[in-house]
Structure formats: structure tokens, C-alpha cells
Structure 1
Amino acid sequence: MTTPSLAIISLILPPLLLLLTMAVHPCFGFPSPPPPPSSRIRSRLAGRGSGFGPSSSRGGTDDDRDPGKKSVGGGGKRRRTRSETSVGFLGELSEREGWRGGSKSSSSSSSSSSPSLVLDRFGFPPPTEEEVFPPLSNDVVRVPVDGREYDRAYVVSAISRHLGVNLDAFDDSGRSVHVEGGGEEDDGRTTTARWSLRMIHVDPPIFLVEDFLTASECESLSSFVDDDDDDDKRVRRIPSPTFSSSSSSSVAVSRRTSTTWFCRYDAVPALLAKARRLLGVDLNRMEEPQVVRYRPGEEFTWHYDEVPRSGLSNGGQRLATLLVYLNDLGKDRGGGTAFRDLLGMEFEDGDGEGRPRRGRLVVTPRKGTALLFFPAYQDGTPDERTLHRGEAALDDKTIAQIWIHEGSYRAGTPEGNRQSCAMDGVEYEARRLGFS
């Protein structure tokens, strides 16, 4: 064989051998097909330490849980920490799969006008709702109300492991000891109003406070909701974040399609004075008051109110959610606050007088009524039973809300917003209302 032929062979042979090696060697061969969707998704969620694995219900890793703390009555309470909220995790997932703020990125295209299923890089859909929010096991304690009238001792027992309610503000019938004017006009006369405390779920404890805000107070807070006035220094308008995936399948998302106005503390002294009276906590434990507006069709899908581990340095965990409805919505108009895993008492004729029946606990918005529940136990352990959503409504829905923390909370918006700035106004309202 001539020298030029040998030279040519020496140039061609090494690449051929390399290609042959890559084809048969396990490190270079074709990748194995991914596991089935359900097992792959579950293993990915369970392995993130985010509390979404089905084995933990939603409670972090085994090392994060305290097996000695089950629940009120023996089940459901688990010690855990979470590195991500459901919204944060799903936002990351949506971004990774080619979605930005609820619309598909330009890098993806659809060849059909009909909605297409969004797949991840393995060719599988994102996790379903049940995989992100696994159903609670049957041994998790949940105690609905039994239909009895207000019972102070019963309420004391129900709130023993949570932040609870300042029962000194109420008499033995559940009516507030203070009386204020400003009720609806009746035959030209202004009526007086008293709060009415009603427990609508026992464990976890959930309450309604009827007539918590007067009609004029509701209207005052609703006046903050103005798309055309971004110069109002009392509030800062922020579109609520939206994370979504495919609309063609039951993809699990935590999606909030509303607009939020963060209020300066000194702009809402009556709301703060009443929140302090109801819960018996200092102002420095309260987050920025918010007014949230939902347009028809807007919603906040299943979520928890707890703070992720990364945010616990600012005030610790959220112990209470105080939400006040600023307008009425009829029972068939949507917009209710629903708790997925809890049962409520309904009435067949819709007026509270008929035969009661059980169904998912859903609170229908009623102007001036406050909804109070507790995202975490008093020791800061999140309560997995409080998964809830704001249902889409056929009409506008407006709410005010405040979250209460374990310790002192530093407000972030609007700039310079401080609880101390509201103290004079809150004390004035407390004296006017007879709180002090």
C-alpha cells in the first residue's frame, strides 16, 4: 500500500472509530426514554423540598417535620419549612416551559388555531392540580360546625392553638360590646351596628364577623380602586401576578388575575383600629393593608397564604388572614371564597331558614362582613387544611385584607410606609368606637 493511501486511512479511521464508540457506549448513546408523566412529575415535585410531594401532603422533607405535632385532635399538623410558595414554584415552572405572564413566549408556536397542550422538554404536560396540591388523607382532622348557636367555651377551645380572636370584644351571645353608628338608613334614621361573631368551621377555626365595617367605611376603601389615578399618594397600584399554563387541560396553576392597591397605614385608621380590636395584636405585626379588585371573570386559584421560608426573616409566618368584603355578590353570582378540603353548612332555600345540608365551605361576599382564618398555627407551623381560592365572579368584587405576622413586620410599599405613622389616627378611631 502506498504512503499516500496510508495517510488517507490514518485520517479517516480515527473519526470512524470515535463515532462507533459514541453509538455503543452508555455515556454517549441515545438517552433512555423518560419515565411516565405521573411518576416523573411526582418525583420532581417531591424531591424539590418545596412541600408538594404526595408523601408529605405539602410539608417539606421528613427532617423538616415534627412528628410530635399532628394536628388539633391528632392529625394534619406537621412541622415543615417551604423554600417556595405555590405561586413561586409554578411561576418558575411556567417560565421554564416557555410561558411568560400567562401568554406563550415567541419561541413557541402553534400550527393550529385550537388551544394546544403545553409540554415540557420531555414531552409531558405540567403537573395536574392534584399533584401540586395533593388531597388530604382521611386521617387529617377537620371538624365542621354542628349548627349550635354561639358558644363562648366552644370558641375558646377551637382557637386554642391559633392566634385566635379577642373575645373580650364580644358578649356571651357573640355580639360586640361596642355599638357604633353608620348603619344603613331606615325611614330616614341612621341605625347603629354591632359586630356579630359567627364560627363557620371548628377545626381549623374559621369565623365571619358581620357588620365589621360600616357601609361608609366600605365605600371609602373602595374609592382607592381607580385605574385613572396613579397619583394618589395613599396607595400604590400593582397588577396581581399571573402564572398560567395551558387552557386546554386541567393544568395546575396558582393564578391571580386581579389588581391590588397597597395602602399607607395612615390612610386606613378605622380598618386598623378594628383589626387590632378583633385580634388583640399590635399594629407592627400587620402587613400593608390591601384593597383588591376582581373584574368579572378574574380569580385567584387554589393557594395558601403562608410565607415561604425565604421571607420569614420579615415578621415570621403569617398567623391570620383578615379579609373584608366591600360589596355584595348574590349567591349565584360567584366570587366566593372557597376552602377545598372543608365542609360548610348550606340551606336548601338559600335564606338560612331551611333544612341544612353539607357541601364545600364557600363564603359568599357580603358588604362589610369580615372573613377570618389562620394560615398557620400559633407556633408558626403552616396549617395544610387552609387551601382556598377566590372564585371568579360575574360582577366586580372588591375586598380589603390584612395579614398578621408572628412578630414585627417591615412594610415595603408604598415608599416610607410605616405602622407608626398611623398610630395617632388609630388611637382616635379606637376612642371614637369605644375600644379604649
Structure 2
Amino acid sequence: MSANAPTQAITPQLRQWIVEQAQSGHAPDVVLKAMRDAGWDEDVAIEAMESTLREHLAQSAPRTQTGPGSALPPAATVPEPALEASPLYIDAVDRRVHVLSVQSQPRIVVFGDLLSAEECEALVGLARPRMARSRTVATKTGGEEINVDRTSDGMFFQRGETDLITRIEARIAALLRWPLENGEGLQILRYGPGAEYKPHYDYFDPAEPGTPSILKRGGQRVGTLVMYLGEPERGGGTVFPDVHLEVAPKRGNAVFFSYDRPHPSTRTLHGGSPVLAGEKWIATKWLREREFA
């Protein structure tokens, strides 16, 4: 593999090499490092990897019943903040929210000052007496289960359960331009020292037998907003391994990401890094395709 061409063209030979590395089980970061070591510009290398693997995945994925000749689940409409004019702030009903960083593919937006310190403390105070070992949705059955990958305590608020919850949910709906009724109730999580949530996807796997039952309550999840309520002393960032991104758990800030289909091609694999000191509190809002009842 040579990178001597001044334009560093993405050739068929390079694409074949990338596919061979993936088929051999090499992780994306290993392939990227090999390309950088060979002299490839990082942006060109990333584009070559992404486009090549996306095309290869589409060609090799099994056909589904979602439409004639369709290789992937169909794309859905997703929440989208008002970012067209590259704003520094977005007015969300009762609060001016900072736009700290924006990524397009996948869509990941970091917001600042979404919640006040007082709101963070109030949410933690309301949740603390109701905390229990966190559970996840069991896509094999449609129920809930304790997941060994998620070592946190948590609880759910009903949508509109208190005036505080109502105010925050209205703010989120305006910020993300998504109907309030399409949101699940807020989940509050506490991660103590050593607690983590290993990388996972938030959509419901269509291949699991329990998914059809889950989807009756509003369809697929299409977006996630993670709000930081309490800062750990060290660790606890939200990581996106496929795009080499880590978001620091700064109190009052939040990270939003969307996924238009229940498929790894969305590159929304994410997790909560282990808390190394102190404790981390977060509030998560999952957004569905339709009204969540």
C-alpha cells in the first residue's frame, strides 16, 4: 500500500486491502494506525475506511423483508436540533443551551448548560430514595433483566411526573425538535467507583424475539440524550468507540446522538467508562419513532 500520490486517491486496491483487514478481524483503530504509519492523511484514511466498509456491509448483508432488494433496515426520521446556521446557542423554551461540538456522521452533539446546578441536584435528590440495581430491556423476552455489562443503580421517572420533570421534558422536546410524547420517561443512573456500562447500542435488535413486543409501545428508539447530573472526580466519560470520541461528564452538560436504523452501520456504539474516583449521576432520555405509551 503506497501513499505517495499527492492526492492520495482511494483506489480499488486500497478498498480491497481494507476489506481484507476487516475480514481478518483487525479493529478499525488498528487499520487506521497502519494507514497513518504508511503515510496516509488521517482524514483520507478515515473516509476510505468508512466508505469502503459501508459499501461492503451493504453488499454482503443478508436481504431483509423491508422492501424489494433492501439490504438494510429502512431509514427512519430522527430528532434533529436546529443546527443549520451553526449556532453557538439554541433557545429551548426556558433556557439558552450552548452548542459545544457537532459531529455529522454519526450525528453527535454535545450541549452545555442544558440543566442548571439546582435542577441537577433536585433530580438526584428525587431519585436517590428510589434507586435499585439497573436493569436493561430484555430483547429476548420484551421484559427487563439485570445486565452484567451495566454496573450501576437506577430508576425511572414517569413522563410528566413532577413539575421539574415536565419543565425539563419540554426543554428537551424544543431543543431536539421532537414530540414530547415520543419520549420515554427519564432514567436516572448512579455509577460509583468502578461502575461502568460496556459499549452497546440503544436501538432494539430486530433479530431478537422480544423486539416486536417492545416496538408496540412507540416503535424503535431513534435518539438518545444523556445529561450529566453529578461529576465524578475521575473517569466516567461517555465513549463512542467507532469514532474515537469521549465526552467528559460535566455537570449540566449533555450529549445527544441519533440513529436512523437499528443497525451497526449507524456507528452509535457507545458506553460509559468506569468511574475511577467519586460517583457519576446521569439522566437519560430515549426518543422513539412514535408516541410512547
TM beyond 0.5? yes
- 2:292: which partner in 1? 409
- 1:382: which partner in 2? 263
Is the contact made by 1:240 and 1:256 (CA closer than 8 Å) also made in structure 2?
yes
1:301 to 191, 198, 219: 198
Residues 1:178 and 1:302: Cα distance change in structure 2 (over 3 Å): closer
- 1:373: which partner in 2? 257
Distance 2:262 2:183 in 1: 18
Q: Does 1:261 align with 2:142?
A: no
User: Counterparts in 2 of 1:5-404, with a 5 A limit?
Assistant: 62-64=62-64, 79-80=72-73, 163-167=78-82, 173-177=87-91, 194-226=96-128, 229-230=129-130, 237-241=131-135, 255-265=149-159, 266-267=161-162, 268-309=165-206, 310=211, 311-329=214-232, 333-342=234-243, 360-374=244-258, 376-377=259-260, 380-384=261-265, 385-393=267-275, 394-404=277-287
SS at match of 2:104: strand
Residues 1:263 and 1:338: Cα distance change in structure 2 (over 3 Å): same
- What is the RMSD of the two structures over their aligned residues, measured on CA atoms? 3.4
The code of the aligned residue for 1:338 comes to V
Is the contact made by 2:61 and 2:72 (CA closer than 8 Å) also made in structure 1?
no
Is the contact made by 2:228 and 2:282 (CA closer than 8 Å) also made in structure 1?
yes
The code of the aligned residue for 1:194 comes to R
Q: How many residues align?
A: 217
The code of the aligned residue for 1:261 comes to M
- Cα offset, 1:225, TM superposition: 3.5
Residues 1:80 and 1:161: Cα distance change in structure 2 (over 3 Å): closer
TM-score of the superposed pair, with normalisation by structure 2: 0.64
Is the contact made by 2:202 and 2:221 (CA closer than 8 Å) also made in structure 1?
yes
SS at match of 1:219: helix
Residues 1:206 and 1:161: Cα distance change in structure 2 (over 3 Å): farther
Residues 1:314 and 1:216: Cα distance change in structure 2 (over 3 Å): same
The code of the aligned residue for 1:213 comes to L
- Cα offset, 1:198, TM superposition: 3.3
Residues 1:406 and 1:179: Cα distance change in structure 2 (over 3 Å): closer
Residues 1:261 and 1:58: Cα distance change in structure 2 (over 3 Å): farther
Residues 1:284 and 1:341: Cα distance change in structure 2 (over 3 Å): same
Larger Rg: 1 or 2?
A: 1
Residues 1:238 and 1:200: Cα distance change in structure 2 (over 3 Å): same
- Cα offset, 1:320, TM superposition: 0.5
Is the contact made by 1:213 and 1:369 (CA closer than 8 Å) also made in structure 2?
yes
Q: More strand by proportion, 1 or 2?
A: 2
Is the contact made by 2:238 and 2:248 (CA closer than 8 Å) also made in structure 1?
yes
- Cα offset, 1:275, TM superposition: 1.0
Report % sequence identity: 29
Residues 1:340 and 1:198: Cα distance change in structure 2 (over 3 Å): same
Residues 1:312 and 1:373: Cα distance change in structure 2 (over 3 Å): same
Is the contact made by 2:99 and 2:110 (CA closer than 8 Å) also made in structure 1?
yes
- Cα offset, 1:176, TM superposition: 2.3
The code of the aligned residue for 2:263 comes to P
Distance 2:226 2:195 in 1: 17
- Cα offset, 1:195, TM superposition: 1.0
SS at match of 2:96: coil
Distance 1:338 1:396 in 2: 17
SS at match of 2:126: coil
TM-score of the superposed pair, with normalisation by structure 1: 0.44
SS at match of 1:196: strand
The code of the aligned residue for 2:171 comes to K
Residues 1:407 and 1:173: Cα distance change in structure 2 (over 3 Å): closer
Residues 1:199 and 1:205: Cα distance change in structure 2 (over 3 Å): farther
Is the contact made by 1:258 and 1:299 (CA closer than 8 Å) also made in structure 2?
yes
More contact order relative to length (CA 8 Å, sep ≥ 6): 2
